Amino acid sequence: MKIAVFGEASVSLGEQLIPRVPANFLRIIVYLLLENANHSISRGKLSQILWSDTDQSHASMNLRQSLARIRKFQEQYGLSLIEGDAAYVYLNLSQVRAELLRIDLLEYIELEQKGDIESFLAMIELYAGDLFVQNEPQGSDFDEWLDVKRAKLRDDLTTLLLHVIDQPIGVSIDEKRKFARKLIEIDPYQEVGYRTLMQTASQLGMITKVERTFRECTKKLRDDLDVAPEEQTIELYQQLLPKLSPATTRGLIAMQPAQPIVIRTEIQTSYAIRAVSQLEQAKQAGLPRIMVLYLPHNASDPMEQLAASLVDDITIGLCRLRTLSVVAPYTSRRVVTESPIDSFDGLKAQFGVSYAVDSKIVRRDGFCFLSVKLIDTETQEIVWAEKTKFDYVLPEQQYRQLSIRIILSVVSTIEKTELDRYNKLYQDPNAYYWYLMGKREIDKFDLSKLRQARQSFKNALTASPDFVPALSGIARTMQREWLVIARNNNDILLQGEQVAIQALPADPHDERPLRELGTISMYLGKFDESIEYFNQSESINPQHADLLADYADALTHSGELETALDKIHAALRLNPLPPDYYFWVGGGTYHYQGRYCEAIGFLERMQKPRAAARLLAGCYAMIGEREKAEEYRRYAMEDNPLFRVDEWIGSTSLKQPLHREMYETSLREAGFQ
């Protein structure tokens, strides 16, 4: 029998997986193997670890019931692994010693203690992914403990692999290749792994694999982080190129990506390499450049390690935004560890950094905090700061929410600061300034504001013709204008579609043009195309709350109401203080489900519910509140005196005829003609 807890945990007999394994069976095994050298724990402590959210008596009762289920499970399969008495629960490893039972985690621990190459090779075979990944969080101390252990095992193995790969002797080429592939599997942004594969492939005469590996590395970094490889990786690749035949070399040069990698000798630092075209575009658009720094006190501290991972997540999240120029995490780490600067002003002088995110773990009065400060490198001013309690490992959902909240706060603060700076100093406006001006007005459902926003985006394109955020902004103002004025004429939608199509090739890794095409296709009644566009855009940036809100709208128009509600609630979790549009979308979805009170609850949360006056009037009419229905009907007619139900319903793109009938019924019930 085999018990596996790396990756997808399982219990198997021969080749057959055993179904319905008690969840706490695996939890107890993992905890006892990693926490106590004698593999034993008191019943009281174990019950509080597993059920820390309840009182001791209920926790003890839960443990008794859980151990009874485990006992029955073990009897069924002839196991005697988890045993206990009145005071303790412990592991009986006699079946392991008799080779009747294998536990991958126990084997991994024993191999790590041996410390030889053969043991390391066996370890990477056993490590099939993070520890116990399908553990369903219960909000208990065990979940927090498990997160720390997962991170420690992963980081320790990464450190081990880096050390072994760097050994000049004692490790064969084949072994180095295995270690390098595992390193990339664990951390796909570790360029040491790619360099090792390139070097060993060259030594083995497998020149085509050098090129393939370099392409893989370049694509991964560009697609995920929007950065080029490190200078060391590029130099190694160029050193290995002479081993190719002249014809092959010419072919390789011709097949280089559209945005070529060029070493800029005028940059003093060796770790500020980025694709030249990206730098030029960022400079032309006037994008602020940001570096996220994490300053550890004790790198072996699990809390410090967790905070460092969170900071990396924040950096990668910022990289996905196309309105900032972000220094890659690897460069930031090397700045901190290898060439610390004297002041934040040094970042501006050496790297052209406009803003630094200064993050660190702070301990005070027995508590642990994550301190994050956003510093304007030009003025040395702290423009935003937050200190978050960080005593315990956060559950995955809270961890992600904290990362997203910091990203949103940093971006919004930078945008406000940059706009204020332009206005105060009367600088020559560039693309980024005009983009900010347009962005400030675009979420307002006001015709004059939408047209002002469109003009601002056009001004941005005058400064930078291929600035994708501005192109996407123009397309959005066009579909918003169509929505606000309830037009039956689709000309403006078709214009917006062409603008979004124009934006696509300018940056294939920016989800915004796809998002606009998805929304416009929805309004044009091309539902399958709409959903496909949104599928593609979500795959590029699944954490973009505004994108999810638009996706929810498209799903509503396609009649997929339950999925639409899932998307809009996901968007609200990512952006808990959203623009009115989120509530408008959610209100519409509830309306088509006939859940009028819930629809009203959503719509009334809008800062300016009058923008959704027609829908509110219809919902109030359907629940019999005539006065409120008449109030909102009056607002709607004041804003658009030419509104007629037949024309609007004729232009409304709803896939399900029933939903169109429901909307018409609601409007006529509210008194619209």
627 domain residue, yes or no: yes
Q: Is residue 288 located within the same domain as residue 388?
A: yes
Residue 69, pLDDT score? 93
Average pLDDT over residues 210-228: 81
Residue 295's CATH number: 3.40.50.11830
User: Of all helices (H) and strands (E), which one includes residue 129?
Assistant: none
Same domain, 335 and 404: yes
Burial profile 330-339: b = 16 or more Cβ within 10 angstroms, e = fewer: bbbbbbeeee
Looking up tokens 């085999």 gives 2
Residue 75 CB neighbours (<10 A): 10
Write out the two tokens for 636: 């709607």
Handedness of CA 515, 517, 523, 529 (dihedral sign): negative
Boundary of a domain, candidates 408, 429, 450: 408
Cβ-contact 348, 354 below 8 angstroms: yes
- Is 27 in the same domain as 145? yes
Answer whether residue 177 is part of any domain.
no
Domain assignment present for residue 481? The answer is no
Distance between CA atoms of residues 168 and 349, nearest Å: 38
Report which DSSP code applies to 287.
P
* Distance separating alpha carbons of residues 118 and 139, to the nearest angstrom: 39
Provide the token pair at 202.
């060259």
486 has pLDDT over 70? no
Burial of 378-402, coded b for 16+ CB within 10 Å and e otherwise, reads: eeeeebbebeeebeebbbeeebbeb
Does the reported pTM lie above 0.95? no
| Claim to verify: residue 294 and residue 400 sit in the same structural domain | yes
**Residues ≥6 apart with Cβ < 8 Å to 189:** 220, 221, 224, 225, 329, 330
Write the pLDDT tens digit of every residue in 31-57: 999 998 899 999 999 999 999 878 888
Same domain for 76 and 133, yes or no, is yes
Q: Residue 12 falls within a domain, yes or no?
A: yes
Non-local (6+) Cβ contacts of 634 within 8 A are: none
Query: Domain boundary at 238, 254, 270, which?
Result: 254
Q: Which amino acid, residue 263?
A: I
pLDDT over 90 for what percent of the chain?
24
| Mean pLDDT computed over every residue of the chain | 80
**DSSP β-bridge partners for residue 371:** 360, 387
Query: Are residues 28 and 147 both part of a single domain?
Result: yes
pLDDT of res. 426: 47
Residue 218: pLDDT over 60? yes
Q: Where residue 328 falls among pLDDT bands split at 50, 70, 90?
A: low
Within a domain: residue 98?
yes
DSSP notation for 490-559 = -HHHHHHHHHHHHHGGG-TT-SHHHHHHHHHHHHTT-HHHHHHHHHHHHHH-TT-HHHHHHHHHHHHHTT
| C-alpha–C-alpha distance, residues 533 and 308, integer Å | 35
Phi, psi for residue 652 in degrees, rounded to 5: -80, 130
Same domain? For 306 and 209 the reply is: no
Whether residue 241 lies inside any domain: the answer is: yes
Backbone angles phi, psi at 293, to 5 degrees: -110, 135
Residue among 155, 144, 160 nearest 312 (CA): 155
Q: Is 104:3 a contact under the CB 8 Å cutoff?
A: yes
Per the domain annotation, does 382 fall within a domain? Answer: yes
User: What distance in Å separates the CA atoms of residue 327 and residue 348, rounded to the nearest whole number?
Assistant: 12
Q: How many domains does the chain have?
A: 4
Q: Output the pLDDT for position 275.
A: 35
Domain termination residue (choose one: 408, 440, 469) = 408
Helical residues (DSSP H) of 9-103, grouped into ranges: 23-35, 43-50, 56-76, 94-97
Going by pLDDT thresholds of 50, 70 and 90, the confidence category of residue 342 is low
Which residues is 363 bridged to in the sheet? 368
**Cα–Cα distance between 593 and 130 in angstroms, integer?**
41
pLDDT at position 250, please? 36
Which residues are CB-neighbours of 167 under 8 A, at least 6 positions away? none
Same domain membership, residue 201 and residue 128: no
Q: Are both 12 and 148 inside the same structural domain?
A: yes
Contact 362, 387 (CB under 8 A): yes
CB-based burial of residue 423 (10 Å sphere; 0-12 exposed, 13-18 middle, 19+ buried)?
Answer: exposed
Query: Do 330 and 246 belong to one domain?
Result: no
Residues 13 and 115 in one domain: yes
Answer yes or no: is 64 within a domain: yes
Give the tens place of pLDDT for each residue, 112-166.
999 889 999 999 999 998 898 877 777 788 888 888 888 889 888 988 999 899 8
Cβ-proximal residues to 582 (8 Å cutoff; 6+ apart), any chain:
549, 568, 571, 572, 575
Q: How many CA atoms lie within 13 A of 668 on its CB side?
A: 10
Both 394 and 293 in one domain: the answer is yes
> What is the residue range of 306's domain?
284-408
What DSSP line would sit under 427-494, residue for residue?
A: PPP-HHHHHHHHHHHHTS--HHHHHHHHHHHHHHHHH-TT-HHHHHHHHHHHHHHHHHTT-S--HHHH
Nearest residue to 126 via CA among 112, 107, 152, 113: 107
Q: What is the pLDDT of residue 423?
A: 60
pLDDT attached to residue 178: 93
CATH number at residue 583: 1.25.40.10
pLDDT-based confidence at residue 261 (cuts at 50, 70, 90): very low
- Confidence at 265, pLDDT banded by 50, 70, 90: very low
4: which strand partners? 10
List, in order, residues 6 or more apart from 663 with CB less than 8 Å away.
591, 592, 618, 649, 652, 654
Amino acid at 168: P
Q: How far apart are CA 579 and CA 233, in angstroms?
A: 44
Residues in the chain, total: 673
